[in-house]
Structure 1
Amino acid sequence: MAEEGFKDYFAELSERYGRPRHELPQLALDTVYDSGYVTGQADQAHFWSLLRERFPLNEKEIELTAGILRHFQLRRSVLTLVDELHGFGFRTGILSDQTDWLDMLDRRDDLFSHFDRVFNSYYLG
């Protein structure tokens, strides 16, 4: 549905810090789960704090979040298909292991309006 904004941004950061491209994306993925952020048991600040314990990030949280969101680009062709399916009477939904970043993407791109339901692990645990 969207470009791999999370993975792509952290790969870019990894290179910026002179580390292998794959290092920070995997570390960030492990951290988003270990912190409880992906299941709504912790907030974004806790995620960033734990990630900083594991990797020496210098950027401010707001810059890091903006970088992730900037790299998440919705695939309009997928949304067009979803809209067509909805037009044929199919119920559409999102099943996501996202955080509240999904809400931020919705505010930016009006994502949720294309779907009947959104199931997000951040709220469902």
Structure 2
Amino acid sequence: MITQIITFNVKPEHYDSLRTALIEDKRNAEQEEGVVEIRLFTDPQKPNIIFSYEPWKDQDALDYHREHPYTVKSCRLFDTTLTSPLETLNLTEIRPPTPQTVEDHRQLLFQKEKYDAKKNFYHRGNRRYRS
């Protein structure tokens, strides 16, 4: 699985046109076999920023999406509608822990941080922190 978060910094005067194009691209992409989902978000504190959350089944699915006319149409708008180039964050797949990784994590945690109840301190290496 490939998951991306894409940030669009939109010029205020082009916000509506880019938003419309991204919604159209989303609706079309949802018909593609390789898309898991696409979600579009805005930040209430920064109204000219749009985020797109896009998990894809694999790289082939993402490449297939990028070749479609509706995606190419949206991409052509970026030169005139954005204040800066796209920012793409590629996320790593996260899986639930197995019993072994949980036990490994516990051992690592207690090696790095030990609580001294008598002194009300956490010990980390040579440092001590009061709780």
> By percentage of residues, which structure has more helix?
1
Common fold by TM > 0.5: no
